């Protein structure tokens, strides 16, 4: 997920990355491509889900989603919709998404407070406040 976030930053985008893992294997990876693709929905988690392709509900129910930043309402909705039971969050200091909603739906959340993730987002927000505020709807 961190490598995906770094790819996004290198492309001039928002450094948020995600990977979808099933039975120990990455089956989808992605990063925020909202800027690069002019997209309203290609957050890191959404990109990883899209790149995993069409899967049966039974596969999603055995997956773990890794993401560098706490999932926003849209991404949390997709996690809930597909029944992904476990989300590993790199950090939630710079943005705390819908963790309460996910927990209420039975999703196991592991929040790592990873300094690489924290530092990457702090730097991006400091250097690109307009882009950051546009992405989170402020």
Question: What is the set of active-site residues?
Answer: 45
Q: Which residues contact 84 (CB under 8 A, 6 or more apart)?
A: 20, 60, 61, 63, 64, 65, 107
How many CB atoms are located within 10 Å of the residue 129 CB?
11
64 three-class SS:
strand
Q: Identify the CA nearest to 26 among candidates 46, 49, 57.
A: 49
Q: Identify the CA nearest to 46 among candidates 24, 26, 16.
A: 16
Strands 25-31 and 17-22: antiparallel
């Amino acid at each position: 997920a961190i490598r995906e976030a770094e790819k996004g930053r290198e492309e001039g985008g928002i450094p948020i990355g995600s990977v979808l893992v099933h039975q120990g294997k990455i089956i989808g990876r992605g990063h925020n491509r909202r800027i690069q693709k002019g997209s309203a929905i290609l957050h890191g988690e959404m990109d990883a889900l899209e790149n995993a392709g069409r899967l049966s509900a039974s596969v999603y129910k055995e997956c773990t989603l890794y993401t560098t930043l706490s999932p926003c309402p849209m991404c949390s909705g997709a996690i809930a919709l597909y029944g992904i039971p476990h989300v590993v969050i790199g950090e939630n200091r710079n943005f705390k998404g819908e963790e309460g909603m996910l927990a209420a739906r039975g999703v196991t959340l592991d929040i790592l407070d990873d300094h690489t993730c924290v530092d990457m987002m702090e730097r991006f927000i400091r250097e690109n406040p307009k882009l950051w505020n546009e992405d989170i709807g402020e």
